[in-house]
Amino acid sequence: MTAPLVQAKGVRKSFGRNEVLKSIDFSVNAGQVVCLIGPSGSGKSTMLRCINHLESIDGGELTVDGDHVGYQLRGNVLHEISEAEACRRRTEIGMVFQQFNLFPHMTVMENLIEAPIRVKKERREVAKERAAALLTRVGLEGKTNAYPRQLSGGQQQRVAIARALAMQPKLMLFDEPTSALDPELVGEVIQVMNDLATSGMTMIVVTHEMEFARAAADSVIFMADGRIIEQGSPNEILNNPHNERTRSFLARVL
């Protein structure tokens, strides 16, 4: 059997005395979409940041495509990797945040080609060709020369998704990508994410959009208080949850 693309075993993370991840176990196979749901403060976003090594874990084991996140196995001993190696690995994982984090002084096209040229040393022509195709994919082919301030929130988030895809990642992480949007703009971002899911992109999505989870996810994980309370198919978790904590949460958000 093919090993999972992402594997978490007993992952723990604390900030001072506050333990925010308490022995987290889950796996994600290539091509799967996994949605993390749960109340604010349950550890969902921290889990994403650990996968991308924006935060280091304090215990357990976390691997992406067989590599220990933040570490390298030499013999039987884990050694912390250099910041340069961490940055290299991070280029293989796209991340889309709540806030769009676009460079305000750059056009849409410049935002998309910056990292491929500077980090991956791609030729400008190659990077621009891919960027143009990605902007068409997210429905923004006419916004090449626009600046972020000239775009709606939904358009900015679609640019952010295209920018992450421009690095040709093996995994996409979404941290509540619609939470900063006005309600009428949510649908356009969800449509792009649905298209990505259909195309076979491996995705881990922290979201409160339960209809997206129902339609696109292979697996839904409900977290609370730094623990996984239950996980299963969208039908199992969203329609027939076993745990009272899950039922109470879904009663509030559905």
Find out whether 231 and 26 touch, Cβ atoms under 8 Å.
Answer: yes
Q: Is the pLDDT of residue 13 over 90?
A: yes
Q: In this model, does residue 140 exceed pLDDT 80? A: yes
Please count the residues of the chain: 254
d(CA 36, CA 48): 10
pLDDT at 103 over 70: yes
The pLDDT of residue 1 is above 70: no
Confidence of residue 251 (pLDDT cuts 50, 70, 90): very high
The arithmetic mean of pLDDT across residues 223-229, rounded, is 97
Taking residues 205-215, report their average pLDDT.
Answer: 96
How far is C-alpha 188 from the geometric centre of its chain's CA atoms? 18
